A and B are shown apart, each in its own frame.
Chain A
Amino acid sequence: MTAVIRRLAQAIVVLWAAFTLSFVILYLLPGDAVLTKLGSADGGINASPEQIAQVRAEYGVDDPVLVQYGKRLWAALHGDFGRSIATGDDATHQVLSALPPTLAVSGFALVLAVVFGGGIAVLGTYTRARWLSHLLLSLPPLGISLPSFWVGLLLIQVFSFQLGLLPALGSTGFASLVLPSVTLALPTGAIIGQVLAKSLRTQLAQPYVEIVRAKGASRRRVHFGHALRNAALPALTLVGVVAGNLLAGSVITETVFSRDGVGRVTAAAVSVQDIPVVQAVIVLAAFFFVTLNLVVDLLYPVLDPRLARVPGELTRRERSHA
């Protein structure tokens, strides 16, 4: 129980740090969102200084920095991140309404990544054909080294512009989900594949495998029933990292595939120093990150009953050192 409380306290600290850091970084950049909003493309401002001051006051960016920070933090505690300076829309609403398309792509990408990344690792370690094993296990490093931006454009060229099978743009319907999800799944699946393959090989070299084999278990049973189950643990630890990757990757895939989503909203908000929107995104992302990691921690004992018997205070990090 104390472990859960400690984790929750950690989570709150992480959220607060994310909120504060994003504010400090955006505040330190030259200029502010009001200047950007009122400036035209030629770098000029047509309005008079009084008119500019009026807009600054309206958005509260003329307060001293600590007052601004305090006000923002207090409002954020009540779930209010303020209004976007660029669009005038409620920041929370803007981010939440961009969430479904991002979750759809990320979710589908995660499924693809687990199925194909996991599949490659399992097949690559299971097959007796050495060439096939080499081929399969060389795919993850390749997948990681291809830039998503380039992969996305390549997929669009081939499957949309050339073959006409899938749409190049938009976020409506399942068909529009396929190419961006594949693009996003590639680096993620590669990480999963890499880690799972390594972990499988380690497990297969463990003494218990010899014993199971000596007891007459089939090769398949050893591989899937015993080694895979133990090997899945390190791969599961990656979920947090993977979730972060998916969110970061959405900035690129959403731009290339002309989709709406949190990535596009983030990129636009950062470029105009729209602090309310950036903070809403950061806190949301941190919230996801923290929750996912919590869920993963709670899943460990389910996968590996030995961990359930370990006193609850042992955290994941300590365990990995053990």
Chain B
Amino acid sequence: MFGHGPSHPARTTALALALPLLLAACSSAGGTGTTEAGPPRSGGTLRLGISSNPDCLDPQQVGTNAALNVGRQLTDSLTDQDPTTGQITPWLAERWEVNADSTSFTFHLRTDATFSDGSPVDANAVKTSFDGIKALGAKSLLGSSYLAAYQGSTVLDASTVRIDFSAPSAQFLQASSTMSLSVLAPAAYQRTAEQRCQGEGLIGSGPFVFSSFKPNQEIVLTKRTGYHWGSPLWQHQGEAYLDRIDFKVVPEPAVRTGSLVSGQLDAITDVQPVDEPQFTTAGFTEPVRPNPGIVFNLHANTTRGVLADEAVRQAVSKGINRAEVTSTVLTPNYKPATSILGSATPLHTDLSAQLAYDPAGATALLEADGWVAGPDGIRVKAGQRLTASVIFSSVFNQNQSVLELIQQQLRRIGFDLRIELHTNTENTQRQQSGDYDFLWYNVTRSDPDILRQHFSTKAGNRSRLTPGNPLDEVLDQQAATVAEDVRGLAVDQAQRLIVEHAYAIPVFELTQVHALGPNAHDIGFEASSRLRLFDAWVSGS
């Protein structure tokens, strides 16, 4: 987000970088040492280079990866989510019950967890925390949607709390595993939201505690001594291995890369596609995980211009060569989309056959629909040109290059895609007012309910569909039950409807690519592809 940093001049940057990189090429190849094998070791500091400055550190308020990655280490959640199966598993809550229409959730808490100020993690604290998130309102960027129908929490006894919703909220179970709904100590709410952002009163029960925050510089976390209520999903139990984590804010990708290679950092996040090959050599490891949620896609406004025509949207989907996008502009670490949901999302359906590159099919669809080739190669029908614009921001550095390639691909089927780069603010404003043909974006969420948020006519409705359509129905169904068989069927239907009608055209899966130097080990991903540093350790001195 903000801070999204200077990605706009990225292309000129690439040229400007050529000389320094050439100079570097001769000596950086050897790496800086060999990877130490062996059992994890306690102690030491991890110097982790991150790409943007978090404006705020409170995990209940923030929405950017940089901030969520910090917040995750400070707090625990009621539940955890298994990154491989998507199952919701115990953490602060040992077990829970959900009522039939998913409007009431009762959590039974473990009794031995404490916040770093010594107060107990009990039912009262959970209630204070959830009420606190609700009170944040719009300032809780992600939590406000998870708790949209939140009615209140009831303390049943010291270790049992019931959370009630005014509408079916099956997604809440997964949401309870995120850092956005993690639990802060009651004392935290005696500070203002702004103070918590700066780290004041940011008291959690997590494996690390907040130590200091120098904006644009670094965030320091230290180990919570006596921690022993980690999620059973983690590789070890007890305290974290690291004594200390220094998150260093290093906005310039080339400097992040060089600092890791030269040993000034132990690990870095957000490795750029162009830098990836450097870390496949000996001594370095490159943890990679695709983001769950909605993949990068061209989300069509079905009320605008040529996109109101379903055949046109379907042709655009067939005219995009997704494999070429990932293999030329990106790297093999990025996968072509196989559905509107990323493959790491629970209940994802593989629709790769429907999303295959089929220029002949696209042409046939357009011709049957009456679109004939115009003088400049762009098709026309009754005086209307086959053209639409896409608005995007440079939140992801490669957005411009990806869209330029798609533009070339679509030109081959006679479709003119106009690409328009805007600031986040302008995109948000246009998105809110419906002033767009295609939107280009992705969203991270490890629950299929994200489809409801963006496609339901009762929520974001980015396709501008009319209420009461078949998609609404299945999206409501999946919201009403945590039973996986019933929910799975509805989510499968939703994905098929979206892809079939090309309400949104999936392209590729955003992927987190990090790099570890020879001394850093076991930096893991949680289910939403954010960092989990509990099991991380450093070797050497």
Show the binding face of A for B, using Cβ within 8 Å.
29-33, 35-48, 51-52, 54-55, 83, 86-89, 94, 98, 147, 149-150, 153-154, 156-158, 160-162, 164, 167-171, 254-261, 264-265, 267-268, 271-273
Q: Is B132 an interface residue (CB 8 A)?
A: no
| Interface residue B29 (Cβ < 8 Å from any Cβ of A) | no
Q: Identify A39's interface contact among B194, B195, B424, CB under 8 A.
A: B424
- B residues less than 8 Å from A160 (CB atoms): 258-259, 262, 264
**Cβ of A89 to closest chain B Cβ, rounded Å:** 6
Q: Is the CB of A43 within 8 A of B215?
A: no
Q: Determine the chain B residues whose CB is within 8 A of the CB of A170 once the complex forms.
A: 217-218, 248
Q: In the docked arrangement, what's the CA distance between A31 and B423, Å?
A: 10
Cβ of B167 within 8 Å of any chain A Cβ, yes or no, is: no
Task: Give Cα A32 to B252, complex, Å.
Answer: 27
Chain B proximity of A77: nearest CB distance (Å): 24
B286 CB to closest chain A CB (Å) equals: 19
A51, A83, A147, A167: the one contacting B137 at CB < 8 Å is A51
Q: How far is the CA of A255 from the CA of B439 in the complex (A)?
A: 30
**Which of B6, B49, B137, B432 interacts with A55 by CB under 8 Å?**
B137
Chain B residues contacting A264 (CB-CB under 8 Å) are: 53, 216
Q: Does B234 contact A (CB under 8 A)?
A: no
A255 to B5, CA, bound (A): 9
Bound Cα distance A45, B429 (Å): 10
Q: Chain A contacts of B6 at CB under 8 A?
A: 255, 267
The closest CB in chain A to the CB of B428 belongs to: A39
Looking at the complex, which one of A30, A46, A168, A271 makes contact with B145 (CB distance below 8 Å)?
A46
Check if B142 is an interface residue, CB within 8 A of chain A: yes
Cross-chain contact A88 with B198 (CB below 8 angstroms): yes
A271 engages B423 (CB within 8 Å): yes
B residues within 8 A CB of A258? Answer: 216-217, 248-252, 255
Please give the residue numbers on chain B whose beta carbons come within 8 Å of chain A beta carbons, in ascending order: 1-6, 13, 16-17, 19-21, 23-24, 27-28, 49, 53, 55-56, 63-64, 137-139, 141-142, 144-145, 148, 192-195, 197-198, 214-218, 248-252, 254-255, 258-259, 261-262, 264, 294, 393, 395, 423-432, 439, 441-443, 453-454, 460, 462
Contact (A30, B426) CB under 8 Å given A44-B443, A47-B144: yes
CB within 8 Å for A32 and B56 given contacts A43-B393, A46-B141, A258-B251: no
Query: A268 with B16: in contact, given A44-B443, A161-B24 (CB under 8 Å)?
Result: no
Q: Is the CB of B251 within 8 A of A36?
A: no
Q: Do A88 and B56 form a contact, CB below 8 Å, given A46-B144, A157-B23, A271-B423?
A: yes
Q: How far is the CB of B135 from chain A (nearest CB, A)?
A: 11
Q: Are B428 and A35 in contact (CB under 8 A)?
A: yes
Q: Which residues of A lie under 8 Å from residue B21 when comparing CB positions?
A: 157
B2 lies within 8 A of A150 (CB): no
Q: Across the interface, name the chain B residue whose C-beta is closest to A267.
A: B6
Contacts of A54 in B (CB 8 A): 137-138
Contacts of B430 in A (CB 8 A): 43
Which of B195, B215, B216, B442 gathers the greatest number of chain A CB atoms within 10 Å?
Answer: B216
A169 engages B395 (CB within 8 Å): no
What is the minimal beta-carbon distance from B512 to any residue of chain A, in angstroms? 14
| CB-CB nearest in chain B for A264 | B216
A41 CA to B397 CA, complexed, in Å: 13
| Pairwise interchain contact B429-A157, C-beta atoms closer than 8 A | no
A255 and B252 in contact, given A40-B141, A55-B139 (Cβ under 8 angstroms): yes
Q: Across the interface, which residues of B come within 8 angstroms of A83, CB to CB?
A: 194
Complex: how many Å from CA A171 to CA B262?
18
The residues of A that contact B23 with a CB separation of less than 8 Å are 154, 157-158, 162
Measured CB to CB, the nearest residue on chain A to B392 is A43
* Shortest distance from the beta carbon of B17 to any chain A beta carbon, whole Å: 6
Give me 15 other A-B pairs in contact (C-beta within 8 A), A170-B218, A258-B249 excluded. A30-B426, A31-B429, A36-B425, A39-B1, A40-B63, A43-B427, A43-B439, A43-B441, A87-B56, A89-B198, A161-B261, A164-B262, A168-B262, A258-B248, A258-B252
Chain A residues closer than 8 Å to B443, beta-carbon distance? 40, 42, 44
Contacting pair A47 B138 (CB below 8 A): yes
A42 cross-chain contacts in B, Cβ below 8 A? 294, 441-443
Q: Name the one of A46, A48, A171, A268 contacting B2, with C-beta atoms under 8 angstroms.
A: A268
Which of A31, A168, A171 meets B259, CB within 8 Å? Answer: A168
Instruction: Point out the residues of chain A lying under 8 angstroms from B251, CB to CB.
Output: 255, 258
Q: In the complex, A39 Cα to B195 Cα: how many Å? A: 21
Instruction: Tell me which of B259, B393, B460 contacts A44 (CB under 8 A).
Output: B460
Q: Which residue in chain B gives the minimum CB-CB distance to A47?
A: B138
B429: contacting residue among A30, A47, A156, CB under 8 A: A30
Q: How far is the CA of A217 from the CA of B197 in the complex (A)?
A: 68
Cα distance, A168 to B264, chains bound together (Å): 8
Query: Are A157 and B258 also in contact (CB < 8 A) when A31-B425, A267-B6 are?
Result: yes
Cβ–Cβ contact B426 & A150, under 8 A = no
